[in-house]
Chains A and B, each alone.
Chain A
């Protein structure tokens, strides 16, 4: 079955700098790649997603890139702010988003 690897497990950056989190997936049939942010005591919140027919997608300070050939996708957060501190999860699925396979998560800390 699908396997998703996420790196790094922890990331600490200075406020205003950029943060990059990378994920690789194993199943070439996967075609949907969402990113979720989870704050303490809350459920995961979708922040951006990308489908396999698109190479890059951007939403304000957040962008995601997808390389289907290499089977990896990345989350880029620019101009980081303290409220970006959270755990971020990547995920992959095929044939719709109902059976997501998640990466292990990245704990992002923004230092003021």
Chain B
């Protein structure tokens, strides 16, 4: 099976712009979670989607949003970019079945805000 894929892998934006990142989960996986990774704050949970509904949310401002499509693919959007949004954005998918809730991560999208 193909792993979690994320596009694009690298992105450079300027302050004030908005950005959309895409994630395709492992085939058959229905839960998609997003994390932000920075040297200072480490790995932090953004939100999780299951069956097109946001089920869990972390402590990030409303500028960070996401959605999930009927095929389980997910996108996250960051509006009004700030310098501090520069980070590696990771997507993870899981099967969402009893005893099979392990999260598998994609390679990430490296976002640089100038």
The yes or no verdict on A and B being binding partners is yes
Chain A positions within 8 Å of B, measured between CB atoms, are 32, 34, 36, 41-46, 49, 89, 91, 96-105
Residues of B in contact (CB 8 Å), total: 25
Residue in A32, A49, A102 whose beta carbon sits within 8 Å of that of B43 in the complex: A102
Chain B positions within 8 Å of A, measured between CB atoms, are 4, 31, 33, 35, 42-45, 48, 50, 55-56, 58, 90, 92, 94, 96, 101-108
State whether A49 touches B102 (Cβ < 8 A). Answer: yes
* Residue ID in chain B nearest A44 by CB atoms: B105
Query: Contacts A42-B107, A43-B108: A100 and B45 contacting too (C-beta < 8 A)?
Result: yes
Contacts of A105 in B (CB 8 A): 42-43
Cα of A105 to Cα of B38 in the assembled complex, Å: 12
Contacts of A91 in B (CB 8 A): 43
Cα of A91 to Cα of B90 in the assembled complex, Å: 15
Residue in A41, A45, A99 whose beta carbon sits within 8 Å of that of B45 in the complex: A99
Cα of A51 to Cα of B44 in the assembled complex, Å: 21
Cα of A97 to Cα of B55 in the assembled complex, Å: 12
Cα of A101 to Cα of B45 in the assembled complex, Å: 7
State whether B105 touches A96 (Cβ < 8 A). Answer: no
Residue in B43, B45, B94 whose beta carbon sits within 8 Å of that of A89 in the complex: B43
State whether B106 touches A98 (Cβ < 8 A). Answer: no
Cα of A100 to Cα of B90 in the assembled complex, Å: 13
State whether A96 touches B101 (Cβ < 8 A). Answer: yes
Contacts of A49 in B (CB 8 A): 102
Cα of A103 to Cα of B42 in the assembled complex, Å: 8
State whether B107 touches A97 (Cβ < 8 A). Answer: no
State whether A44 touches B102 (Cβ < 8 A). Answer: no
State whether A97 touches B105 (Cβ < 8 A). Answer: no
State whether B105 touches A36 (Cβ < 8 A). Answer: yes
User: 5 more A-B contacts (CB under 8 A) besides A96-B96, A99-B33?
Assistant: A43-B105, A44-B105, A89-B42, A98-B103, A101-B45
Residue in A36, A97, A102, A104 whose beta carbon sits within 8 Å of that of B101 in the complex: A97
